[in-house]
Amino acid sequence: MVIPQHVAIILDGNGRWAKSKGMPRNYGHARGAKNLETICRDAYNMGIKYLTVYLFSTENWKRSKEEVDALMKLFRSYTKTCVKTARDNNMKVRVLGDPTALDQDLQDSLARLVESSKDNTGLNFQIAINYGSRDEIVRAIRKAAQDCMDGKLQPEEITEERFAGYLDTAEVPDPDLLIRTSGEQRLSNYLMWQLAYTEFYFTEVPWPAFTKDDLWQAIEKYNSRDRRYGGVKEE
């Protein structure tokens, strides 16, 4: 079995899962955050080197104030727990997205999490929070344009590789496998540049119920795919 080096996940369905149990949506978010810790460990034990998860999109601010507040509260406690999990499991954490819209205390804890885990050599764990692919690309273009204005970069020097270095995922290889839970089959503004040649796997299982066995099924399916990158398969 070939283990994908980088797995990206759109962890969806927390709300619907909770509703199906007669519980409030926020219960689903809490259980989803718990499950993320379990899946992180499982992913690393399976040999996955990079795991990138979508926690909050630039569009998720449209949700009710009550839900956004509950999510931010959850991210606060998750970020603190993650410092310990990262230490125990040797995880190097990176944050994707624009943190400036988050409350200062959450920005500070995210920065502490990144700093305290930067020398770890196990799982590379990327959390996308206030992340949107279009926003990431626009921010990257602004940085590149500023470097051009400052004379550090010439427009003709902007190649695909150089441009990728301005994205939040600089230094992270592109995902091999994208998993979206809970039945929706869309990207919802996730990693549009990085997923150019990624294999997609969709499952009906909602995120809080997603297990190691479900991850394994996704990897099995990935193994049955024929990745070509525009070429022709050698017979």
Q: Which residues contact ligand IPE by CB under 6 A?
A: 10-16, 54-57, 60, 71, 182, 184, 186, 188
Q: Does 135 bind Mg ion (CB under 5 A)?
A: no
Alpha-carbon distance of 92 to 164, in angstroms, equals 20
**Binding marks (x or -) toward Mg ion, 6..45, rule CB under 5 A?**
------x---------------------------------
The two three-digit tokens of residue 68, written as one number: 């956004």
Of Mg ion, ligand IPE, none, which one sits near residue 16, judging by CB under 5 to 8 A according to partner kind? ligand IPE
DSSP SS3 for 219: helix
CA-to-CA dists, residue 99 to 104, 132, 135, 136, 151, angstroms = 9, 12, 12, 11, 28
Of ligand IPE, Mg ion, none, which one sits near residue 36, judging by CB under 5 to 8 A according to partner kind? none
Q: Does 56 bind Mg ion (CB under 5 A)?
A: no
Closest CB 55 distance from Mg ion, rounded Å = 12
Q: Is the Cβ of residue 14 or residue 52 nearer to ligand IPE in the bound state?
A: 14
> Mind giving me the DSSP string for 31-73?
HHHHHHHHHHHHHHHHT--EEEEEEEETTGGGS-HHHHHHHHH
Shortest-Cβ-distance residue relative to Mg ion? 12
Active-site residue (options: 14, 35, 60, 88): 60
The length of the chain in residues reads: 235
Closest CB 160 distance from ligand IPE, rounded Å = 26
DSSP SS3 for 42: helix
Q: Does 136 bind Mg ion (CB under 5 A)?
A: no
3-state secondary structure 99-114: HHHCCHHHHHHHHHHH
Q: Catalytic annotation on 12?
A: yes
Residues that bind Mg ion (CB under 5 A): 12
Catalytic residue set:
12, 60
